[in-house]
Structure 1
Amino acid sequence: MQNKILVLLLFVFSVCVGQERVAFFGRVVADNFVVGDVFVINKASGLETKTDANGNFTIAARVGDVLIVYAAKVEQRQFTLSKKSLDDVPCVFSVNYKANEMDELVINKYGAINSESLSLSA
């Protein structure tokens, strides 16, 4: 009877230890360039961090967690962590830059610039 209880306790302990989050090191890149100031959130735990100027970040995570990468300058992406993801240091996440199209650009400081000064008059 005591052996069964001991085996049960060991099993419960091993399951609990296997579920611990560890420090996960990653890097965010877009078009082979590092991307700084991008938020990375662990959807499962709610933890959030921001990449440094070199695109690197550290967040607590475990296998199966979903990390969301988002910022105004990149398209939001989700990545599900695997055992391989946790083993790769740093694990590189590739995102795409967002196109930022303006309807109009008004420059007020240079009032002397017009079509005649640029020789654009027809």
Structure 2
Amino acid sequence: MSDKFLCVLIIVLSQSVWGQSQERIAINGKIASNTNDLEGVYVVNAQTEVMATTSGDGAFSIMAKAGDTLVFSSIQFKESRVLLTTENFSDLNFTVRLNMVMHHLQEVIVRNYSGINAVSLGIIPGDQKKYTQAERKLHTATALNPTANAGLMAGGSVSADPLFNFLSGRTAMLKKEVAVEKKELFMKLLEKMFSMDHFVNRLKIPAEYVKGFEYYAVDNDKFTVILNSDNKTATEFLLGELAVKYKEILAIENK
């Protein structure tokens, strides 16, 4: 009995001595997670404090031996500890899976910055006239520029472009563009305020004549003033009067 106990004791002591004298070798592995950002994760041997970092694909190599503990640490991952076994050193696909750290927001504040524009930022004056595209073309073509020829004559002179534009008919053409643009804007405003159903069922305008009635309405200066005031009640009242007149015109034309 004592001989058997002695043999077991010798074997245990032998393995212990062998384990303590075992040299550390490089162990190669990779980390894996639910992200492609695997670079820069610290790999630390807790026994020797030797440190390595992972590459872009998560690969690492560090000196260790069976029984050592590897600590994986990073800002984006939860700390993980792995106790190495003999099999890990012969495993060509030694992989350590890491879990990402989930950061919970305590509060989310949504601000409305729709009021920010060139005027509120002080880039342009608040009382500056705003031009549409057609109005800007007309203004450019007709505006007098007293500095256009400054330096050629004492005190400068006035640009002749407005005169040329007037004689060539360009000014008249641009005025027509402005008028057409205004009508289109009023048409969009009218269609936004009233649906097709209102024109057909409420005003009794035949569906095929609704577009013509809209043009007829925006040709009326009194109506466009009220329409532009955004007073729907007054606009609807005058629109009803115009509808009566428009249907009378249709009745005469269709005789």
Q: TM-score, normalised by structure 1?
A: 0.68
Alignment root-mean-square deviation, CA: 3.1
Give the alignment of 1:1-122 within 5 angstroms. 15=18, 19-31=22-34, 35-104=38-107, 111-112=113-114
Structure (1 or 2) with the greater helix fraction = 2
3-state secondary structure, aligned to 1:35: coil
Gaps of 5+ in 2: 1-13, 117-255
Distance 1:92 1:32, change over 3 A: farther
Report the identity percentage: 20
Judge conservation of contact 1:27–1:57 (CA < 8 Å) in 2. yes
Which structure dedicates a bigger proportion of its chain to strand?
A: 1
Unmatched 5+ residue regions in structure 1?
1-10, 115-122
SS of structure 2 residue aligned to 1:74: coil
The number of residue pairs the alignment matches comes to 101
Give the number of the structure with larger relative contact order, counting CA–CA contacts within 8 Å between residues 6 or more apart.
Answer: 1
Task: State the 1:91 CA deviation.
Answer: 1.1
- Pairwise CA distance, 1:89: 2.2
Whichever of the two has the greater Rg, that structure is 2
Number of the residue aligned with 1:119: none
